Chains A and B, each alone.
Chain A
Amino acid sequence: MRKIIQVKCSLAAALIAASLSAGAASAADEIVIGASLPLSGPLAGFGSFQQWGYKRAVDEVNKAGGITVDGQKRPVKLIIRDDKTDPNQTAANTETLISRDHVVAMLGSCTPVLVNAGALVADRAKKPLVTGCDPLEAFKSVRKWNYVWDIFFDEPDLANAELKAVEESGAKTNKKLAIWHDNGPDGQVVGGKLWPEVAKSFGYEVVQNAEFPVDNQQFTSIIGEAKSKGADVVLVDAITPQAVAIRKQMAAAGYTPKVLNIEKGAEPVQFAEALGKLSDGVLVGGYWDPSFPYPDAADLAKAFESETKLSSSQHIADSYAAVQVLLDAIAAAGSTDPEKINAALAKTDKTYVVGPVKFDENHTAKLPIVALQWQGGKTVIVWPKSAKAGEFLFPLP
């Protein structure tokens, strides 16, 4: 009897060991790339957009037959793992993908904290990693990257865009400005450092600069203070749940400034859906909109909405482009050798669905910012003049 139990236990152990080492078994001729994404936890919203973008780009390449490497056309296999919005898990996932699944390259997670966790592992393991969803200043402040490449916007551009939009439209305000920002990495940069400088350069008086935790729920005293100081312009940097809360609580507190800009959080369509009419007039900086004149831009958003029956966000484009950049580099290198892929990435110079992508010496490719404004449940480009698609709605309804 004892022996049977011992045998059973050993079998169980062996099974577990086998399943661990088998993992996602890959065919010998597949080009394997990996990604760790927040598919659960607070950032699950971002993760789902990225997952769709990553998968779609890989599917399209495979439909066209794959990539030619070492003279042979080979399919691409994408392995995605959930990091549960935990940087410890992002690092662990990246390690597994590199050491067990032998990925030739990685794709990044979302938001600086998670991207950093995976990128540090990849950089040390000398595996190329292409990422979006990581503002450039935050990306550059970590270290001098060797194998990690970032395609995203630059925080100073974001900080400038809205005020430029207001100035150029000729709208008159009392030049009193309130800044509310979360204390995540880009919130601290944009709200704590850049906006005060930009505001001053445009001649605004910063009457309030309030910081709050990323997952804050209550904004009563922040709103109250701005209201009592009579600020006509309010600049906010927060993620979507907080963006919705802020807009709602402002209305409930009877505070309607003339200009309201909510970075990050007001971009996805779910912001407008959650608020209905309250979203009208809210400004947000975007690095992509389906109306952009780049290849496949409009189709991408339509495909997302018809496939998932959900509302889209610019993050589908950034992730889609990131994969294309990586796969193009692998094709250009004609090899799965990490060094050759890395060298090919450095030479990237092409226009993708997000616009022209070319990496500078800091491994960053800048996506220019436009100022979008919610009007009737849709985003309208109101700045710069060259891309303008509609009139700037002023003041906030």
Chain B
Amino acid sequence: MIKERPVAAPREAAIIAVAFAGLWFAPLVLGEYWLQLGFRTLIYLALAEGWNLMAGSAGLVSLGTSCFVGVGAYVAYGFLNGFSLPLPVALIASAVAGAAVAAVVSPALFRLRGLYFTVGTLALAELLRLLMINVSAFGGASGIFLKSDPPPLPILFHYALVVALIAALALTLCVRTRASVIFRSVRDDEDAAAQMGVRSYRVKLAAFSLASALAAMAGAVQAVKLGAIEPYGMFGLQWSIDVLTMVIIGGMGMRLGPLVGALFVIALGETLADYPEAHIAIAGVILIVLIRVAPRGIAGLASSLRIAASKRAPA
């Protein structure tokens, strides 16, 4: 395990708060294109942080992100269309819904360990997608439309910023405080942890619910921006795969992994999209090379380079 210089929780939280406060003013400075890229990066960042929380901290490798993104999207539309409530309320409802779904499925899912858990989350995501397509009460394959127009981009950017901020702070809480010891004990050896008195089920549930709530909120904000949702777009497996790609490329278990991964995936996607003929294959090749060359992701690569550099002659 690469040793990172430990950063105390309050200091890290402060850094995050300052960074996000600075970003708050981005709409005043950035052009529309950069703001849109920033929005997408923030949504992805929230998803990746949540995933990292589950996997890096509690050992739950999930392919079910799409399930919660979709739940958040549909619940948000339900509240906005049905009850005409303001967006923050709809977001909170989505978060609660995401956590609730996680809580409902965890008795079944947590019976599964390791590989089986991963496969189980994949099945869950697919099951929900198939259900949404078949049940016409939720619009079926045609989906549903947002009745009112979405707010303008700067406001949506702020919402994405808030969601990403919550995600970042949540991860700091789990990784930098004493809670991190408990999480890691469950990740490394659940049975031994249980022997030591750690209530591993509750720990896993906490991580899973939190990650799911974050994914749901991210899905809700994305859905509001789109203005129209349907099962293939909001429950599609591309969400689960994209998150995993980000975390692997960024560096699993590295604190900056999600951020680096999100930035890289968005940037790569944008650059390659200008070459529509072979961009998918190129993305695949880049992914394979990166996985080979950077076992701990880009953040890990940077970290080991820095350590190697500091071990040599003084700068």
Contacts and interface: CB of A to CB of B under 8 A. Distances in A.
Given A100-B33, A185-B141, A213-B141, A92 B40 contact: yes
A350 interface: no
Contact of A113 (B36, B232, B277, B280): B232
A95 B32 CA distance: 9
A2 B228 contact: no
B306 A2 contact: yes
Given A88-B222, A185-B142, A82 B273 contact: yes
B310 A2 contact: yes
A87 B142 contact: no
Nearest to A125: B32
B273 A81 contact: yes
B134 interface: yes
B267 interface: yes
A93 interface: yes
A23 interface: yes
B115 interface: no
A24 B271 CA distance: 10
Interface string A106-136: 0000001100110010001000000000000
Interface in B271-315: 271, 273-274, 276-277, 279-280, 302, 305-306, 309-310, 312-313, 315
A143 B233 CA distance: 20
Interface in B221-235: 222, 225-228, 230, 232-233
B31 interface: yes
B134 A183 contact: yes
A237 interface: no
B236 interface: yes
B79 to A, nearest CB: 20
A113 B234 CA distance: 12
A81 B280 CA distance: 12
A20 B140 contact: no
Interface in A157-188: 182-185, 187-188
Contacts of A187: 141
**Residue of B140, B143, B145, B277 with highest tally of chain A CB at under 10 A:** B140
Contacts of A37: 276
Interface string A258-297: 0000000000000000000000000000000000000000
B238 interface: yes
Interface string A353-393: 00000000000000000000000000000000000000000
A82 B270 contact: no
Given A1-B315, A213-B130, A120 B141 contact: no
Nearest to B308: A1
Contact of A213 (B36, B133, B312, B313): B133
A214 B313 CA distance: 63
Nearest to B231: A213
Interface string B212-252: 00000000001001111010110010100000000000000
Contact of B315 (A3, A87, A213): A3
Contact of B133 (A86, A92, A143, A183): A183
Interface residues of B, number: 44
A214 B305 contact: no
A64 interface: no
Nearest to A87: B233
Nearest to A120: B227
Nearest to A214: B141
Contacts of B315: 1-3
Contacts of B280: 40, 82, 84
A182 B310 contact: no
A39 to B, nearest CB: 5
A213 B230 contact: no
Nearest to A98: B32
A116 B130 CA distance: 22
Interface residues of A, number: 47
B142 A112 contact: yes
A20 B37 contact: yes
B145 A142 contact: yes
Given A20-B271, A213-B130, A96 B33 contact: yes
A185 B143 CA distance: 8
Interface string A79-107: 11110111110011101100110000000
A84 B236 CA distance: 12
A97 B227 CA distance: 19
Interface string A178-203: 00001111011000000000000000
Given A2-B315, A16-B267, A87-B228, A82 B309 contact: no
A297 B90 CA distance: 51
A13 to B, nearest CB: 9
Given A24-B274, A86-B238, A113-B230, A1 B309 contact: yes
A267 to B, nearest CB: 20
Given A87-B230, A113-B230, A113-B233, A82 B142 contact: no
Contacts of A112: 142
A5 interface: yes
Nearest to A116: B228
Nearest to B145: A142
A112 B141 CA distance: 11
A19 interface: yes
A1 B267 contact: no
Given A20-B37, A88-B233, A113-B233, A80 B271 contact: no
B40 to A, nearest CB: 7
Contacts of A117: 226, 228, 233
Contacts of B140: 183, 188
B270 A20 contact: yes
16 contacts: A2-B310, A2-B315, A21-B33, A24-B274, A80-B276, A81-B276, A86-B236, A86-B238, A88-B226, A99-B33, A99-B36, A120-B226, A124-B227, A182-B141, A183-B141, A188-B142
Given A39-B277, A99-B33, A124-B150, 13 more contacts: A2-B310, A16-B271, A20-B37, A23-B274, A40-B280, A82-B276, A82-B280, A86-B232, A113-B143, A117-B233, A187-B141, A188-B142, A214-B133
Which 5 A-B residue pairs are closest in the complex by CB-CB distance? A99-B33, A2-B315, A99-B32, A82-B276, A87-B233
Interface of A: 1-3, 5, 9, 16, 19-21, 23-24, 37, 39-40, 79-82, 84-88, 91-93, 95-96, 99-100, 112-113, 116-117, 120, 124, 138, 142-143, 182-185, 187-188, 213-214
